A = this chain, B = another copy of it.
Amino acid sequence: MDSFLKLKSEFDNLVSKIKIPGAETRMTSIDPSNYKLSDKIANLTEKDLLPHIDTAQPETREFLQCVINILLDYVNACNNRNEKILEFHHPEDMKKLLDLDINDNPAPLQQLIVDCATTLKYQVKTGHPHFFNQLSCGLDIISMAGEWLTATANTNMFTYEIAPVFILMENVVLSKMRDIIGYSGGDSILAPGGSISNLYAFLAARHKMFPGYKEHGPRGLPGDLCMFTSDQSHYSVKSCASVCGLGTENCVMVPSDEHGKMIASELERLILERKARGQIPFFVSATAGTTVLGAFDPLNEIADICEKYNCWFHVDAAWGGGLLLSKKYRHPRLSGIERSHSVTWNPHKLMGALLQCSSIHFREDGLLLSCNQMSAEYLFMTDKLYDIQYDTGDKVIQCGRHNDIFKLWLQWRAKGDVGFEAHMDRLMELTQYEVKRIKEQSDKFHLILEPELVNVSFWYIPKRLRGIPHSSDKEKELGKICPIIKARMMQAGTLMVGYQPDDRRPNFFRSIISSAAVTEKDVDFMLEEIDRLGQDL
């Protein structure tokens, strides 16, 4: 803790070395004092509303409408470029600004209204056009309306009995997604995030290839199972090896090339090496859109190797899957995905569905059920009024499952296939614009590689380092600057762009364009603002 405080103090000095205007020029329009319930209900409590009081429809409606007024104002604020993206405070300071205590006694309704507004006042506006920080950016209005409805319907997805419309929607949308991947038939499920989706793929693969594993574990196998993924893959793939009992040393990290793509010949070499040790290679997870660089592994080459060595071929397209919707960008990036056994694809990323919305698709039907069912007859009975093939509870490891379909269905219906394709093409076009602008300002910015997706990796070059030839020493200096500029962004509240190191280089910026709110002007702003914030470094 002491060393943290020391580092923090040095860091704070650097961050605040110069006065960075910003905070003063931007506004925070959500003001908790603006939202007032009528005197009649302000001091009521939740016990005075539905369902406790049958006649409390008007009071309930007024309270909910007041919450909605805050939300509608927040939607406007998110779309206003003059708004701060965030009001940054350190955790200990933020605690003092907020009143988070839960008391013995109920809070009056007016207090709850203030709580809602205060929460949004200090929340980071992930839908702001200057938020380039995360793979999930943006605030899709239709998907948001869908999520509001989902909350109000408040049902679980395990049976047709209690979620008839939503279960049918899942069938329609997931079947459509499998068609787009290039599967005929198959099966799918919506899961709570890409990591759990990848876990489903791992489990299905193990079950398909070693059906006795479910009951007996590794006993009886002639060697240890091992799996393969690139050193650029999402860490959840390696996590499968830990969670599922292989041990992380049996998740082999295949080297990637300088573009971040798995080197297929290295995959083959490592499979042979593990086989020579008596291990059983059974699962390869290729990545279509890596987290940092946005790279696509060579799917066809990997598919060939999987066929040759009888491995399950999984594609983690959590991030890049959205490009399947674009005729222009799908090939060559995702060519070969139709040869896979399973695909993770997160609509909450490129497609902008609200969090969370992640899907896992299988070429073979029936595997989810045979892999995951525990024969909980007491929950999923077969003597029902309706055709129980629509029940999903026995196919998943979760039992209860959140309804993640309605927001996606409504959004897709609102856009149509044409709209989603145009959205993908637009995000890629804006990315190309950013690349062009970075290249045009090569004195100030250093593009690390030509992106295949909407991740743009670059360094900002401060004045003192301009004109000096690029070298690893220079990279180290450029890397040190990223956290300082990021800290200044957050304090100014004007911009959010992420940075991170990777295996090859120290910290660098990685901007993400996955929000429909972003325009060319916003891209220009991002680069200008980084320059402004880094002028003295």
Within 8 Å by CB of A95, from B89, B154, B168, lies: B168
Q: Which A residues between 94 and 151 are near B, CB-CB below 8 angstroms?
A: 94-95, 98, 100-107, 109, 111-112, 115-116, 118-120, 122-124, 126-127, 129, 133-134, 136, 138-139, 141-142, 144-145, 147-151
Chain B residues with Cβ below 8 Å from A134 are 156, 162
Q: If the complex has contacts A243-B244, A483-B383, A501-B378, are A149 and B67 also in contact, measured as CB distance less than 8 A?
A: yes
Give the distance in Å from the alpha carbon of A103 to the alpha carbon of B68 in the complex.
31
- List the B side residues contacting A129 at CB < 8 Å: 51
Q: Is there contact, CB below 8 Å, between B51 and A160? A: no
A516 in contact with B247 given A60-B75, A94-B164, A115-B410 (CB within 8 Å): no
Q: Does A435 contact B (CB under 8 A)?
A: no
B414 touching A107 by the CB < 8 A rule?
yes
Q: For the complex formed, measure the closest distance between the CB of A441 and the CB atoms of chain B, giving whole angstroms.
A: 26
Contact partners of A90 in chain B: CB under 8 A: 385-387
Interface check A475, CB cutoff 8 A? no
CB distance from A453 to the nearest CB of B (A): 16
Contact with B along A213-232 (1 / 0, CB 8 A): 11111110000100000000
Question: Which A222-255 residues have a C-beta within 8 angstroms of B?
Answer: 224, 234-236, 238-239, 241-250
Asked if B154 and A196 sit within 8 Å, CB to CB, the answer is: no
The contact of A72 among B65, B72, B234, B247, by CB within 8 Å, is B65
Q: Which residues of B contact A486 (CB under 8 A)?
A: 384-385
Contacts of A375 in B (CB 8 A): 235
- Knowing A120-B149, A244-B243, A416-B103 touch, does A138 contact B51 (C-beta < 8 A)? yes
Let me know if A335 is at the binding interface, CB within 8 A.
no
The residue that A483 contacts in the complex, of B71, B193, B216, B385, with Cβ under 8 A, is B385
* A359 contacts B by Cβ under 8 Å: no
Minimum CB–CB distance from A476 to chain B (whole Å) comes to 13
A269 at the interface (CB under 8 A from B): no
Q: A25 in the interface, Cβ–Cβ < 8 Å?
A: no
Residues of B within 8 A of A249 (CB): 215-217
CB distance from A187 to the nearest CB of B (A): 17
Quick check: A400 and B151 within 8 Å, CB to CB? no
Q: Do A98 and B46 touch (CB < 8 A)?
A: no
How far, in angstroms, from A216 to B127 measured CA to CA in the complex? 42
Question: Using a CB-CB cutoff of 8 Å, which residues 422-474 of chain A contact chain B?
Answer: none
Known contacts A399-B234, A483-B383; A120/B89 CB under 8 A: no
CB pair B217 A250 closer than 8 Å:
yes
Tell me if B501 and A164 are in contact (CB < 8 A): no
Contact of A46 among B142, B148, B385 (CB under 8 A): B142
Q: Is A20 an interface residue (CB 8 A)?
A: no
| Interface segment out of the listed A270-278, A281-289, A296-304, A401-409 | A401-409
What are the residues of chain B within 8 A of A379 when measuring CB–CB? Answer: 235, 291, 500
* A4: chain B residues within 8 A (beta carbon): 387
Closest-by-CB residue of B relative to A411 is B46
Contact of A51 among B104, B192, B412, B516 (CB under 8 A): B516
When distances are taken between beta carbons in the complex, the residues of chain B under 8 Å from A415 are 46, 106
Residue A37 CB within 8 A of the other chain? no
CA distance A107 to B419 in the complex (A): 10
B148 near A151: Cβ-Cβ < 8 Å:
yes
**Is A390 an interface residue when CB atoms closer than 8 A count as contact?**
yes
Check B517–A386 contact: CB distance below 8 A: no
| Cβ-neighbour of A169 out of B100, B160, B242, B412 (below 8 A) | B100
A189 CB contacts on chain B under 8 angstroms: none
Point out the residues of chain B lying under 8 angstroms from A236, CB to CB: 374, 397-399
Selected A-B contacts with CB under 8 Å, 22 pairs: A51-B517, A57-B79, A64-B72, A103-B413, A103-B416, A103-B417, A107-B413, A111-B413, A112-B145, A116-B410, A193-B399, A195-B400, A196-B398, A203-B243, A216-B249, A217-B250, A219-B224, A243-B397, A248-B374, A355-B402, A378-B502, A381-B501
The 5 A-B residue pairs with the shortest CB-CB distance, nearest first, are A245-B245, A217-B247, A51-B517, A192-B192, A147-B151
